[in-house]
Amino acid sequence: MPAFSLEPAQTAWCRELRTLAADRLRPLAEKGEPGHVNRPLVAELGQLGLLSRLFTSGALDLCLMRESLAYACTEAETALALQGLGAHPVHAHGTPSQRERWLPRVADGIAVAAFALSEPGAGSDAAALSLTADPDGPSRWRLTGEKCWISNAPEADFCTVFARTTPGAGARGVTAFLVPADRPGLTGTALDMLSPHPIGSLAFDAVPVTGDDVLGEVDRGFRVAMGTLNLFRPSVGAFAVGMAQAALDATLAHTAQRDAFGGKLKDLQTVAHQVAEMALRTEAARLMVYRAATAYDEGAADVPKRAAMAKLLATETAQYVVDTAVQLHGARALRRGHLLEHLYREVRAPRIYEGASEVQRGIIAKELYANVEAAQ
C-alpha cells in the first residue's frame, strides 16, 4: 500500500522536487523579506506547475510535495501550503464564478490566498469565533471584528473568512465567505513572529459581503473549515517530517566528520544512540503521515482521527529531532544563518497552528470514545 511503500515514480518525483527546491526556489527564498509574502517565489511555484497540483492531486501527493520542499527550502514549502490552505475552500466549495475568477490566478502564482479562521479570543477553540456577519438586507451582510495569526495577511489578494451568521449557535452558526482584499473596511497589520512566515491580523469594519461571496452554505461554514484542516493537517506533518529529515541528515554528516575525544563524534555510544532515536522517530512519523493521507484519499471514515494523529506525532517528533540536532552540533548550530538555527525557528510553529497539539489529542480522544459508544 502507498501508506508504507512509495511507488518508484513517487520516489523519483520527490528527488526531483528536492533538486528544484535547492536550485530554483532557495535562491528566490533567500532574496525575500522575512515576514512578508515573497511574490517571486510564489510565481516560480506557479511556473513549475506545483500550485496547480494543489487542485488536481490527492492528500498523499500534497504530503510528498510538502515534505520534499521542506527538506531543501522551508520558505517554498510554506508558500505552497498557504496557497493551498487559503484556496482549497474555493476549490472544494466555491461557485463556478468564484472558481473561475480565483483558482487559475492562484495556480499561476499571481493571486495570493489566505485562510482567516483564528481570532484573538478564538484560536484553538475555533467554534467560539466572534467575527460577526450582521444582516444588511436579503443575502447581504456586514463583517465586523478581527482575525489574528492569519498567514499571508495583510498582503493576500483574497481571504477565506469564517464569520458568525447565527449568534449563540456554536459551530452550526458559522459561514465561510470569499472576501477580496479590496473590499471597503478591510485593513490589516503584519505581525513580527519567531518564524519568518508572513503572518498578520485583519480588521473588518462593516465589510460588505453578499450571497455571491458565500463558500458552501450559510451557517455550514465550520464544515468548510474542518474539511480543509482534515486535508492539510497530515501535510503539516509532512512539512515537519521534511524538516526532521534535513536535521537528521545534517547530524549524520556532522557526527561522522567531527573529531572528538580521540575519534569521531559518531563513535561515542551516547551520540550514536541519539542519532538512531532521531531516525526512528522520523521514520515513524513519516509512515503515520503517509497513512493518514492515504486514508483521506480513500475516503476512510476515521480521517479526523488519523489526520490529528499524523500532525501530532510528526510535529512533536520534528521538535525533538531538530532540538537534538542542535545539541549534537553545539554552538555552531546557534549561529545566525546555520541550517539548524533556521530549522529551530521554523519547527516550533507547526505544533500550534491548524490546531495545537493539545487540540489534536482532544480530537483523537473524542473519536476513540465515539467508536466505543457506537459499538455499544
The C-alpha atoms of residue 277 and residue 320 are separated, in whole angstroms, by: 10
Is residue 124 over pLDDT 60? yes
Report the run of H or E that residue 134 belongs to, with start and end: strand 132-135
Stated pTM of the model: 0.93
Asked if residue 162 has pLDDT above 70, the reply is yes
Once rounded to an integer, what is the mean pLDDT over residues 122-150? 89
Question: Of 227, 240, 228, whose CA–CA distance to 311 is shortest?
Answer: 240
Mean pLDDT of 319-338: 96
CB count, 10 Å around CB of 225? 22
pLDDT of the residue at 2? 45
- Beta bridge partner(s), residue 164: 132, 174
113-217, CATH topology level: Butyryl-CoA Dehydrogenase, subunit A; domain 2 (2.40.110)
54-72: average pLDDT: 95
User: What SS3 class is residue 261?
Assistant: coil
Per-residue pLDDT of 193-233, as tens digits, reads 888 789 999 999 999 999 999 999 999 999 999 999 889 99
What percentage of residues in the chain have a pLDDT greater than 70? 98
Strand-strand pairing, 263-264 and 214-215: unpaired
Among the listed residues 246, 232, 242, the one whose alpha carbon sits nearest the alpha carbon of residue 329: 246
pLDDT in tens, 17-47: 999 999 999 999 999 998 899 999 999 999 9
Say how far apart CA 38 and CA 112 lie, in whole Å. 10
Q: What are the sequence ranges of the domains in the chain?
A: 8-107, 113-217, 223-375
Beta-carbon count within 10 A of 152 CB: 28
Nearest-angstrom CA–CA distance, 213 and 57: 26
Q: Are strands 214-215 and 174-180 parallel, antiparallel or unpaired?
A: antiparallel
Residue type, 152: N
Rounded CA gap, 371 and 42, in Å? 42
Secondary structure class of 204 (helix, strand, coil): strand
Could you give the residue ranges of the DSSP H alpha helices within the chain? 8-20, 26-31, 39-47, 59-72, 74-93, 96-107, 221-257, 269-297, 303-329, 339-346, 357-375
Give the C-alpha separation, 55 to 74, whole Å.
21
pLDDT of residue 128: 81
126, pLDDT greater than 70 = no
Instruction: Encode burial over 75-90: b for 16+ CB neighbours within 10 A, e otherwise.
Output: bbbbbbbbbbbbbbbb
- CATH H-level, domain 223-375: superfamily: Butyryl-CoA Dehydrogenase, subunit A, domain 3 (1.20.140.10)
What pLDDT, on the 0 to 100 scale, is given for residue 110?
97
Residue 54 burial (10 A CB sphere; 0-12, 13-18, 19+): buried
- Statement: residue 1 has pLDDT above 50: no
Q: What is the mean pLDDT of the chain?
A: 94
Please tell me the distance from the alpha carbon of residue 194 to that of residue 192, in angstroms, as a whole number: 7
Q: What are phi and psi of 240, to 5 degrees?
A: -65, -40
Residues recognised as catalytic: 354
Cα–Cα distance between 201 and 190 in angstroms, integer? 6
Residue 184 DSSP code: T
**Residue type present at position 89:** P
Residue 91 has pLDDT above 90, yes or no: yes
Q: 65 or 194: which carries more pLDDT confidence?
A: 65
Per-residue pLDDT tens digits for 228-275: 988 999 999 999 999 999 999 999 999 999 988 889 999 999 999 999
Mean pLDDT throughout 96-114?
97
Q: Taking the domain 8-107, which CATH number applies?
A: 1.10.540.10
Share of the chain above pLDDT 90, in %: 86
